[in-house]
Structure 1
């Protein structure tokens, strides 16, 4: 598979992950509700995600997209370095943003965060022993609140969201261009939409652990 094919796969999986982030973000906004309302609503939402057959199928696409995006990113980075095209050596500082030249580093931070996120919540929900709420759903809300009482974890999440924000700002524009959906007439608007989307999503996600930490501190 040539470099262009890898970039197309990276672009397609990346844009799919952007769509997933929006859905995940909207669902998680329930964490901002009044505690007892948030508990029942969030747990019902989590139960729906794990029990609906269609959502399960989409989740497999999600897992494949994460793995594929990471693998092809590593392959492209390795090929660039082997060809002497490392971002650190191309002296493009004046022509490109620093985050464009460090997508590998940002992507690595995001990948480590995803593994941590799955370990803290997905794995616990699937295989851990957690209680039930008054509606009989697994009390994932209690797990989330307990996790975000740890200041170090809150800090890690905020740092990861900063890295994700810059990763998305470059990735959305680059992905649209790679898939041939980028028209010169709309360059400015694509950039604006990419930045707004990235900032709103990442600030929103970062606000969730901060909100839970400060509103549940003893």
Structure 2
């Protein structure tokens, strides 16, 4: 039993650490994507130059591999923990009353995580894969014209709506994940619980609203 608990704790620690790294990446990714809100001509060249800089920097490449590994590990540990908890609940509880003491998004992290994972596959296919392996035209500065690809994709209303829905799912996923990581890593002290709760809500809403704003702005105002 002790060994089983230690394995579960180790998995939760890895979930927390990879999740926090992904939160850090979301901040950096959002700051870069906010360039899409600039006036069209400036955004065009600046965003393409930014993308070219990221693709050619060895430090960024290393961070990218850490990112891919973190996403993979986060998904794997999430699946393992979900299966483990489901089996444990089936054995221990004849009648489940978790709904009375937990938030709905905490009880549906598997559904939210699945939505986000499907979105990531689509997102990587439409942007990362095309940028890396596709035949994109060059802009006037000689950089791959990722900006035109982004604006073309965001011209599709169904994609914009899908993006916004997935950002709502991500927001709730971040809310649960942030509080869960704080508890797992032992920093959710009663003295600071209020501040941690406020920071978690603000972080989740700002990040997801920022990402959702970009395709909406590009679709309706560009």
Aligned counterpart, 1:13: 18
Q: Could you list the per-position Cα deviations for residues 55-97 of structure 1 after superposition, in whole angstroms to 9, with x for gaps in the alignment?
A: 100000000000000000000001111222599x632222111
In the alignment, structure 1 segments of 5+ residues that lack a partner are none
Aligned counterpart, 2:163: 157
Aligned counterpart, 1:93: 99
Matched, 1:25 2:30: yes
2-structure distance, mates of 1:108, 1:212: 26
Aligned counterpart, 1:170: 176
2-structure distance, mates of 1:138, 1:214: 24
Matched, 1:60 2:65: yes
TM-score, with length taken from structure 2: 0.94
Matched, 1:123 2:129: yes
TM-score, with length taken from structure 1: 0.95
In structure 2, which of residues 1, 8, 29 is the aligned counterpart of residue 3 of structure 1?
Answer: 8
Report how many aligned residue pairs link the two structures: 215
Aligned counterpart, 2:114: 108
Secondary structure class of the residue paired with 1:149:
coil
Aligned counterpart, 1:73: 78
Secondary structure class of the residue paired with 1:93:
helix
1-structure distance, mates of 2:13, 2:20: 11
CA drift of 1:182 comes to: 2.1
Secondary structure class of the residue paired with 1:83:
helix
In structure 2, which of residues 82, 88, 91 is the aligned counterpart of residue 83 of structure 1?
Answer: 88
RMSD: 1.5
Q: Could you list the per-position Cα deviations for residues 127-160 of structure 1 after superposition, in whole angstroms to 9, with x for gaps in the alignment?
A: 0111111111111000000001111111110000
Q: Could you list the per-position Cα deviations for residues 28-58 of structure 1 after superposition, in whole angstroms to 9, with x for gaps in the alignment?
A: 0000000010011111111111110001000
2-structure distance, mates of 1:149, 1:179: 42
